[in-house]
Amino acid sequence: MDYLLAENLSCIRGSNTVFKNLSFKVSRGQILHITGANGSGKTSLLRMIAGFIYPSEGKIIPEKNYTHKDVHFVGQKYALKKNLSVEKNLSLWSYLYQKKINTDQILSDLDLTQYKDNDIEVLSDGQKRRLSIARLFIHSAPIWLLDEVHVHLDSEWQVKLDHYIYNYINEGGIVLISSNTKIELNSNIDINLTNYNV
Amino acid sequence: MISKIRPAIIEKADGYIPLLLSFTIITFFVGLYFSLIESPADYIQGDSMRIMYIHVPSAWFSLMIYTLIALSSVFWFILRNPLLSLAGRSLAPIGAMFTFLALITGSIWGKPTWGTWWAWDARLTSMLILFFLYLAYILLWHSISNKDNASKIAAALGIIGFINIPIIKFSVDWWNTLHQPATISKLSTPSIDVSMLIPLLIMTLAFGLFLLSLFIIRIRILSLELRINRKMTY
Amino acid sequence: MFKNLLLRDLRLAYYSSSNFIYIGSFFILVTILIPFVINTETEGLKSVFQGLIWVGLALALLLALDRIFSSDFDDGNLDIILRMEVSYEKIYLSKLLSVWITYCLPIVIIVPLISTAFNLTINETIFVTINLFCGSFGMAATAIGINALLMGLKRMIYLKSIIVIPLYIPFMIFGVEQGSWPVLSALSMIAVVVASFATSYGLRLYGE
């Protein structure tokens, strides 16, 4: 698809209206950056685009051609089993993503080769975050939805992540990314959800 | 989507509460009079049979209330009116109370009749399981803090529990015929004579009015709470 | 994808302490309690055993009750699963198979092996095992359905047990009677179908 269009989205969680009347358009090769205070609905918005929640009002276009597999949602949870080793976790992912994973290649790209047999518990938050982002390279999809993925990454890795995002954009991907703090990423469109809160 | 709760209906019903409660008390005393004084004692069981006048209506209502909960759950799925989920939430403790009353009165009835406080017969055992179905439903509402999610799960549980009731009745009856001697059928109502029917009907009416009063009071409180919570979060 | 989900669950069970060795040992230990608490020989041993294996099955499933979907929900793997090309029904069926294989199969295998220790004849053993086989699917399905609805509740194992045990009672009533496998199969089928609806609903709700 060439663009993602949101018209008049509003999100109601429970009996609260989190945000209202949100509209935007992101085209291929663009990055949309979502900011806002805690609780302003960044995660909810991304989950709405991902299809986990339905908008209370408004719609997301394209509706018809837009299926689950077009979206890769990487959220705040790492999707890692704490008591298992890094290698085992990657092999479990290979079942989910239905792909053979070259564990050694990925671990060397992430600089985590020495942790191959260690339990996830041993890793630092930054290392877990690195590992959890690796998913983006295992499974490809036209749209990336990234929820506060810069958190816990050190500056070197934040730069590397931004680099990966730019590469992906240049190949025609769409990225919607949320952040809690300032990030260096050059985005095309900025949305501050606090403006849409009720 | 937030559906509107129409407070008007509840407030109007609430207006009738004093009247309703008075009727309940009057009917109850009339019923008691007929149960204890005007009606004859049983040929075999003597006066202890009189507890039937409380036991039978409680048992009957305990089942009817669960049916109401299941119905309100079904309609909630279709209509999504929050009053329907509040109805289930209001009814559950009332139903649990009636079930408990049925169990206690059944037990009290059992003591002079069989000599024990408890017997594993089909009726009492099914009632005991029903009590736990109510308990599960009540605890579910209590444990989920987000009440909108709770409505959904509770509605699902209400329906699942209701499907299970005939299955449980079937199983426990079957188990009972296999394991229990035939003597334990005294808890079934004796062949109804008019003199026994009248107090039974009056007590049933009293219980019904009591249920209605409690229900209106409780659903009013819950709906007020819901409206306050919604206003506060804006 | 169905195959993948199944294999993944089985692998996870193997890596965690839910494999055959653990479930099997737990179950055998539960049955070993019987001779210690029953004073009579022969008849007492036999009838208590026939009842207790069902309680043992319920206890084994109780371990599962907290985990089935909750573990993937808590760590974010469920998000991944729900975005893959797989229907809720397939997710449910693969779970049913994996839960049955992990928690019920060890028991179905062990019971015939140890029943002579409790004075059961071969004939009785066969019936007991057939009953277990037919009823265990329904009990596993019930556990899955309830866990799917209550995925987000953390560490409320007692609440889940309170909900589930009355649902197990019909299985257990018929389970201990010889020759009631048709009824058990019917009950299991009902449970499997109702649980599939409950699971689809739960998965949809918890996508949030």
A19: nearest CA partner in chain B: B234
Q: What integer is the mean pLDDT of B42-69?
A: 83
| pLDDT tens for each residue of B111-140 | 877 778 887 878 888 899 999 999 999 999
- Does residue B178 fall inside a structural domain? yes
Q: State which amino acid sits at residue A57.
A: E
B142: nearest CA partner in chain C: C159
Predicted local distance difference test score (pLDDT) of residue B45: 65
Question: Are B233 and A12 within 8 A, CB to CB?
Answer: no
Among candidate residues B52, B72, B59, B133, the one with its CA nearest the CA of residue B98 = B59
CA angle, B69 then B74 then B80, to 5°: 105
Predicted local distance difference test score (pLDDT) of residue B2: 46
Structure tokens at C116: 């002579």
Of A48-57, A139-148, B204-213, which gets the smallest average pLDDT?
A: A48-57
C6: nearest CA partner in chain A: A95
- Does residue B9 fall inside a structural domain? no
- Indicate whether A198 pLDDT > 80: no
Q: CA dist B64 to B17, B60, C49, Å?
A: 22, 6, 38
Tell me the shortest Cα–Cα distance from A56 to chain B, in angstroms.
6
Test the B interface: residue of A10, A13, A15 with most B CBs within 10 Å: A15
pLDDT tens over chain C, length 208 residues: 888 899 999 998 888 877 788 888 989 998 888 888 877 666 778 888 888 999 999 999 988 888 888 889 988 899 888 888 888 999 999 999 999 999 999 999 999 998 888 888 888 899 999 999 999 999 999 999 999 999 888 878 889 999 999 999 999 999 988 888 899 999 999 999 999 999 999 998 877 6
- Indicate whether B186 pLDDT > 50: no
- Does residue B203 fall inside a structural domain? no
Quote the strand ranges of chain B, DSSP E: none
Question: Are C165 and B132 within 8 A, CB to CB?
Answer: yes
- Indicate whether A138 pLDDT > 70: yes
The answer to whether C1 contacts chain A (CB < 8 Å) is: yes
**Chains in contact with C, where contact requires at least 3 CB pairs less than 8 Å apart:** A, B
Query: Which of B136, B160, B168 has the CB atom closest to C170's CB atom?
Result: B168
Q: State which amino acid sits at residue A169.
A: I
| pLDDT tens for each residue of B72-103 | 999 999 988 888 899 999 999 999 999 999 99
Contact predicate A68/C85, CB 8 Å: yes
Q: What integer is the mean pLDDT of A118-132?
A: 89
Predicted local distance difference test score (pLDDT) of residue C128: 92
- Does residue B37 fall inside a structural domain? no
Among candidate residues B9, B123, B115, B139, the one with its CA nearest the CA of residue B59 = B123
Q: Please tell me the distance from the alpha carbon of residue A138 to that of residue A116, in angstroms, as a whole number.
A: 17
Question: Are A52 and C79 within 8 A, CB to CB?
Answer: yes
- Report chain C residues whose CB lies below 8 A from the CB of B172: 169, 173
Q: CA dist A43 to A28, A35, B43, B47, B214, Å?
A: 22, 10, 72, 68, 42
Query: How many distinct structural domains can be found in chain B?
Result: 1
Question: Are B149 and C190 within 8 A, CB to CB?
Answer: no
Half-sphere exposure at residue B148, Cβ-oriented, CA atoms within 13 angstroms? 16
Predicted local distance difference test score (pLDDT) of residue C35: 81
- Report chain C residues whose CB lies below 8 A from the CB of B132: 162, 165-166
Higher pLDDT, B132 or A140: B132
Half-sphere exposure at residue B3, Cβ-oriented, CA atoms within 13 angstroms? 16
Predicted local distance difference test score (pLDDT) of residue B234: 42
Q: What integer is the mean pLDDT of A17-27?
A: 87
- Does residue B25 fall inside a structural domain? no
Predicted local distance difference test score (pLDDT) of residue C187: 93
Contacts of B119 (CB under 8 A, 6+ apart): B110, B180, B184
Tell me the shortest Cα–Cα distance from C5 to chain A, in angstroms.
7
| pLDDT tens for each residue of B139-168 | 999 988 888 888 999 999 999 999 988 888
Of A124-133, B44-53, B199-208, which gets the smallest average pLDDT?
A: B44-53
pTM, full prediction:
0.87
- Report chain A residues whose CB lies below 8 A from the CB of B229: 15
Tell me the shortest Cα–Cα distance from C13 to chain A, in angstroms.
11
Predicted local distance difference test score (pLDDT) of residue B5: 60
Of A5-9, B32-36, B213-217, which gets the smallest average pLDDT?
A: B32-36
Higher pLDDT, A198 or A168: A168
> What is the 8-class DSSP label of residue A102?
-
Predicted local distance difference test score (pLDDT) of residue C67: 86
Q: CA dist A51 to A5, A66, A137, C29, C76, Å?
A: 14, 10, 21, 47, 15
How sure is the predictor about B183, in pLDDT bands with cuts at 50, 70 and 90? very low
Segments forming the whole domain that contains residue B142: 52-182+209-234
Query: Which of A80, A82, A96 has the CB atom closest to C84's CB atom?
Result: A96
Test the C interface: residue of B130, B133, B153 with most C CBs within 10 Å: B153
C183 burial level (CB within 10 Å; 0-12, 13-18, 19+): buried
Q: Greatest CA span in chain C, whole angstroms?
A: 58
How sure is the predictor about B229, in pLDDT bands with cuts at 50, 70 and 90? confident
- Indicate whether A65 pLDDT > 60: no
- Report chain B residues whose CB lies below 8 A from the CB of C190: 163, 167
Mean pLDDT of the residues in chain B: 82
Predicted local distance difference test score (pLDDT) of residue A66: 56
Contacts of C56 (CB under 8 A, 6+ apart): C27, C30, C31, C107
B149: nearest CA partner in chain A: A14
- Does residue B26 fall inside a structural domain? no
CA angle, B91 then B133 then B179, to 5°: 135
Higher pLDDT, B5 or B108: B108
Is beta strand A3-13 parallel, antiparallel or unpaired with respect to A16-27? Answer: antiparallel
- Indicate whether B109 pLDDT > 50: yes
- Report chain C residues whose CB lies below 8 A from the CB of A98: 1, 4, 84
B44: left (phi over 0), alpha (psi -120 to 50) or beta: alpha
**Chains in contact with A, where contact requires at least 3 CB pairs less than 8 Å apart:** B, C
A83: nearest CA partner in chain C: C16
Query: Which of A73, A81, A98 has the CB atom closest to C75's CB atom?
Result: A81
Predicted local distance difference test score (pLDDT) of residue B179: 67
The answer to whether A169 contacts chain C (CB < 8 Å) is: no
Structure tokens at C48: 């208590």
